[in-house]
Amino acid sequence: MAKEERYYKHDLMERIGHWVHGVNILLLALSGLQLHNPSWAVFGSVSNARFVHFLSTYAFVFIGLWHLYYFFGAKKHAEALFQPEDAKDVIPTIKWYLFLTDTRPDYSKYNVLQKISYAGLFVISAFQALLGFAIYWNYSLRGVSDLFGGLLATRALHYSLTWIFVYFTAVHIYLIIREDLGLLWAMFHGYYRREVKD
């Protein structure tokens, strides 16, 4: 027989970081898309879009460094990093999200797909920031853009990686809806209710 338990899933700093980072990604993506296609005037003029993009870029780097510090300083890495024993949960978790099974995977805070995707996204974020600065400071960081085939190729790669963040956000929203909307509310007030087996 199952019973319901209420527990503290996300502390205040995690919740603030999540929403600030979400708004930051949205501003970066929208301003970057306007810079790539000026006719899509979300922020009015291109100069406005450039200002928003550069300001958001510095915020993006700051948020990333803060996350890194908090991740290890508060020992969050112990529950969020992929461990070898997590490998057995990959297939069952994929099957659950694809409606191929009614058995919901049991996990504490993050499931195995979250652990893998969050780690991968952090690496991509650092790489994306490097490409962005190589475009912005092309003279000083010319070696970086040359490594990827020149400024135009670096711009194209930077733009292409933007879609990873867009797709990740879309999948992230789908997975929350698929699993339990209580996870969304937990990101506002911190608490989550779930069924546990006796």
pTM of the prediction? 0.77
Q: Across the chain, where does the E strand assignment appear?
A: 2-8, 191-197
Overall average pLDDT of the 143-159 stretch: 90
Going by pLDDT thresholds of 50, 70 and 90, the confidence category of residue 174 is: confident
- pLDDT at position 98, please? 83
Q: Across 7-16, 87-96, 104-113, 156-165, which has the greatest mean pLDDT?
A: 156-165
Distance CA 33, CA 166 (A): 11
Please state, rounded to an integer, the average pLDDT across all residues of the chain: 83
Helix (H, G, I), strand (E, B) or coil at 92: helix
Question: Domains in the chain and their CATH numbers?
Answer: 2-197 (1.20.950.20)
Distance CA 136, CA 194 (A): 47
Helix (H, G, I), strand (E, B) or coil at 181: coil
Angle made by CA atoms 48, 50, 56, in degrees to the nearest 5: 100
Going by pLDDT thresholds of 50, 70 and 90, the confidence category of residue 1 is: very low
